[in-house]
Chains A and B, each alone.
Chain A
Amino acid sequence: MSAALPLLVARGVSVGIEGRTLCTALDLDILPGEMLAVIGRNGIGKSTVLSTLAGLRAPLAGRLTLDGVSLASMAPRALARRRSLLPQSHDDAFASTVLDTVLVGRHPHIGRWSDDSAHDVQVAFDAMARVSLAGFEARDVRTLSGGERQRVAIAALLAQDAPLCLLDEPVTHLDLDYQMDTLSLFADMAHDEGRAVVAVLHDLNQVLRFCDRVLLLTGGGEWVCGAVDAVLQPDTLSRAFCHPLRELRDGARRYFVPA
């Protein structure tokens, strides 16, 4: 893994919103084949950092490159073929079938004058199958439950087929079984397919179980980044989340519970 060239590189990147600095001088190499968690308290800037890494907002300072090319100079469509972003919420103003909504992920791969090809439709169906949405293709997205709608969004992200996947709270509305299935799906995409997956997560035990590295935002622009086992220590986490956390062990596996 260390031999692979980094996909996304951040050097001295500072992120802020409305005069508030969320993250100062971030240096980060995101490698293909790894799953990186972004954690921190509510409102600390996880989503804003994620959309900055996605190239959707300019950093206050510093430089971001994807495949060695500056993010700011990449054409939106070319960027969309290289990185995907799962938004935190979904707001459907108009009726749309599940299939059409998943096919939206194919947009950067389809020419302006072309229609969805049989291949695009097949990619969409494969994506729906991977999130257990078989048989849902004709349903209106506005009739789905929150968890089903989230899986439609994940299917659209899979259909986009980008090497860098940025996920803003990918398992928030999901039932426990789908949470586990979805996170193992993304872990497989990183470890077996060689994609880079960056996910904002809330459950520390899921971070321990599925992720390789973690970026912890601690407020006031401070951050810690490193291997999961190094960063996720009781005292660091207790300070970052403003509540004492206790570590439990079950063989080699560690768990955190609120003290």
Chain B
Amino acid sequence: MSIPADAMQPPASVRTRAPRRRTLALPLLAVGLLLSIALSLSLGSVPVSPAQLWQIATGGDAGVAGDVVLGLRLPRVLAAAACGGLLALAGALMQVLLRNPLADPYVLGISGGASVGALLAMTAGLAGALFELSAFAGALTAMALVFGLAHGEGGRTPTRLLLTGVIVSAGCGAAVSFMLTVANEQSLRGMLFWLMGDAGVAAPPAAALWTLAVGVLICTPLARDLNLLARGDLTAQTLGVPVLRLRLAIYLIASALTAVAVTTVGAVGFVGLVVPHLMRLALGNDQRLLLPASALAGALLLLLADTAARTLIAPAQLPVGVLTALLGVPVFLFLLHRRR
């Protein structure tokens, strides 16, 4: 008003700071993930040296070490990494969908549904593919239930989705408690491990890897629109974002990612809440950067947690969910405190 418009030039720092962070963050995370994969493959009851790893990676014959790495450790490593990526990406999407930085992938009842399906299968003595199918069906049922019931005037608003999700989760929680109470001694331990998240009995990683790849591919072109959705429905709609369609798409994508992750490694907590939050504190809330960074960091965190879970008190194993919480909570509190 009193200042002529051309008197203000953007300072150079404003133009350059964000892009530099962006160019560095993703390669750094990717390198970190590759190193963690190598570390995780080499640790265990049969130690594998970096030289042996290289030999195996280049197709050489490394004897027993080769069998251990390719047959036992690699599937578990891939499953943990893929599911970490799925949960973190789903968490980031849920936080935008519900416009709440405290939302996680389970807030809409998907893990509750999957848990009911999984425990039903365990009670019935199902294993393998049938068990996974049952968990996945449970997740989809919860998802359909929340989606169907949350509809009302003004569409599926964040508040209505959240309330419906919380209620469906509570119902699932009651069903889970009931099944735990009546379960026999042998299956109880397996059930508890599954509920806390356990990569030791992980399903084959192929489905999770493919889902993660497809999820990242679908979300990348939506990221700009998601930036606007995070600022509120009215702002987004005014600026040309097809809000209802986008919210529906995000809901379906995030739910599918979560369902696959939960089916593969169980209801691992904290990754989906903490990782997007950490990335947002470190990199800002630009979804174009935040979504891929969350996927990579989620993979990194769950992989490290699972590596610790199977090596810390070897030969015994911890449920990986315990480790994600033990790692996630202090880091989260530290960052939150430092930022204040």
> Complex formed: what's the CA distance from A104 to B231 in Å?
9
Q: Does B232 contact A (CB under 8 A)?
A: yes
Please, which residue of chain A has its CB at the minimum distance from the CB of B288? A115
Contact of B15 among A80, A105, A118 (CB under 8 A): A118
What are the interface flags for B216-248 relative to A under an 8 Å C-beta threshold, 1 for contact and 0 otherwise?
000001001001101110110111111000000
> Complex formed: what's the CA distance from A41 to B284 in Å?
41
Q: Does A14 contact B (CB under 8 A)?
A: no
Instruction: Please give the distance in Å from B245's CB to the nearest CB on chain A.
Output: 10
Q: Does B124 contact A (CB under 8 A)?
A: no
What are the interface flags for B241-265 relative to A under an 8 Å C-beta threshold, 1 for contact and 0 otherwise?
1100000000000000000000000
Contact of B280 among A79, A94, A105 (CB under 8 A): A94
Are A181 and B1 neighbours in the complex by a CB distance under 8 Å? yes
Binds B, one of A4-12, A127-135, A250-258: A127-135
Instruction: Please give the distance in Å from B312's CB to the nearest CB on chain A.
Output: 36
> Complex formed: what's the CA distance from A54 to B239 in Å?
11
Instruction: Please give the distance in Å from B76's CB to the nearest CB on chain A.
Output: 35
Are B5 and A130 neighbours in the complex by a CB distance under 8 Å? yes
> Complex formed: what's the CA distance from A105 to B221 in Å?
19
Please, which residue of chain B has its CB at the minimum distance from the CB of A17? B153
Question: In the complex, what residues of B have CB within 8 A of residue A81's CB?
Answer: 240
> Complex formed: what's the CA distance from A93 to B162 in Å?
15
Q: Does B311 contact A (CB under 8 A)?
A: no
What are the interface flags for A94-132 relative to B under an 8 Å C-beta threshold, 1 for contact and 0 otherwise?
111001110011011010110100100110011011111
Contact of B101 among A79, A94, A125 (CB under 8 A): A94
A121 and B101 in contact, given A104-B227, A104-B228, A132-B2 (Cβ under 8 angstroms): no
Please, which residue of chain B has its CB at the minimum distance from the CB of A79? B240
Contact of A126 among B6, B99, B230 (CB under 8 A): B6
Q: Does A212 contact B (CB under 8 A)?
A: no
Q: Which residue among B227, B239, B240 has the maximum number of chain A CB atoms within 10 Å of its CB?
A: B239
Contact of B5 among A113, A129, A160 (CB under 8 A): A129
Question: In the complex, what residues of B have CB within 8 A of residue A76's CB?
Answer: 237, 240-242
Instruction: Please give the distance in Å from A184's CB to the nearest CB on chain B.
Output: 8
Are B240 and A107 neighbours in the complex by a CB distance under 8 Å? yes
Q: Which residue among B99, B224, B286 has the maximum number of chain A CB atoms within 10 Å of its CB?
A: B224
> Complex formed: what's the CA distance from A113 to B238 in Å?
20
Are A160 and B239 neighbours in the complex by a CB distance under 8 Å? yes
Q: Is the contact region of chain B dominated by helix, strand, or loop, or is it mixed?
A: loop
Instruction: Please give the distance in Å from A12's CB to the nearest CB on chain B.
Output: 25
Are A105 and B239 neighbours in the complex by a CB distance under 8 Å? yes
Q: Which residue among A77, A122, A125, A160 has the maximum number of chain B CB atoms within 10 Å of its CB?
A: A125
Are A137 and B242 neighbours in the complex by a CB distance under 8 Å? no
Question: In the complex, what residues of B have CB within 8 A of residue A84's CB?
Answer: 238
Are B14 and A138 neighbours in the complex by a CB distance under 8 Å? yes
Q: Does B182 contact A (CB under 8 A)?
A: no
> Complex formed: what's the CA distance from A138 to B241 in Å?
26
> Complex formed: what's the CA distance from A132 to B8 in Å?
11
A85 and B99 in contact, given A125-B8, A129-B5, A138-B14 (Cβ under 8 angstroms): no
Question: In the complex, what residues of B have CB within 8 A of residue A185's CB?
Answer: 1
> Complex formed: what's the CA distance from A131 to B19 in Å?
27
Are A122 and B10 neighbours in the complex by a CB distance under 8 Å? yes
Q: Which residue among A94, A110, A181 has the maximum number of chain B CB atoms within 10 Å of its CB?
A: A94
A134 and B8 in contact, given A94-B280, A129-B3, A185-B1 (Cβ under 8 angstroms): yes
Please, which residue of chain B has its CB at the minimum distance from the CB of A85? B238
Please, which residue of chain B has its CB at the minimum distance from the CB of A110? B224
Are B240 and A112 neighbours in the complex by a CB distance under 8 Å? no
Q: Does B9 contact A (CB under 8 A)?
A: yes
Q: Does A146 contact B (CB under 8 A)?
A: no
Are B100 and A93 neighbours in the complex by a CB distance under 8 Å? yes
A108 and B239 in contact, given A91-B232, A96-B285 (Cβ under 8 angstroms): yes
Please, which residue of chain A has its CB at the minimum distance from the CB of B5? A126
Q: Does A69 contact B (CB under 8 A)?
A: no
Instruction: Please give the distance in Å from A192's CB to the nearest CB on chain B.
Output: 13
Please, which residue of chain B has its CB at the minimum distance from the CB of A126? B5
Are A129 and B239 neighbours in the complex by a CB distance under 8 Å? no
> Complex formed: what's the CA distance from A129 to B9 in Å?
10
Are A107 and B228 neighbours in the complex by a CB distance under 8 Å? yes
Question: In the complex, what residues of A have CB within 8 A of residue B237's CB?
Answer: 56, 76
Within 8 A of A (CB), among B1-55: 1-10, 14-15, 19
Please, which residue of chain A has its CB at the minimum distance from the CB of B241? A76
Instruction: Please give the distance in Å from A178's CB to the nearest CB on chain B.
Output: 9
Within 8 A of A (CB), among B99-124: 99-101
Contact of B1 among A92, A108, A131, A160 (CB under 8 A): A131
> Complex formed: what's the CA distance from A138 to B99 in Å?
22
A104 and B235 in contact, given A112-B224, A134-B8 (Cβ under 8 angstroms): yes
Within 8 A of B (CB), among A178-219: 181, 184-185
Contact of B285 among A87, A94, A181 (CB under 8 A): A94
Q: Which 4 A-B pairs have the closest CB atoms?
A: A80-B240, A77-B240, A76-B240, A93-B99
Q: Which B residues form the contact surface with A (CB < 8 A)?
A: 1-10, 14-15, 19, 99-101, 153, 221, 224, 227-228, 230-232, 234-235, 237-242, 280, 284-286
Question: 7 A–B contact pairs at CB < 8 A?
Answer: A85-B238, A95-B280, A104-B231, A105-B239, A121-B10, A121-B15, A132-B2
Q: Which A residues form the contact surface with B (CB < 8 A)?
A: 18, 54, 56, 75-81, 84-85, 87, 90-96, 99-101, 104-105, 107-108, 110, 112-113, 115, 118, 121-122, 125-126, 128-132, 134, 137-138, 160, 181, 184-185
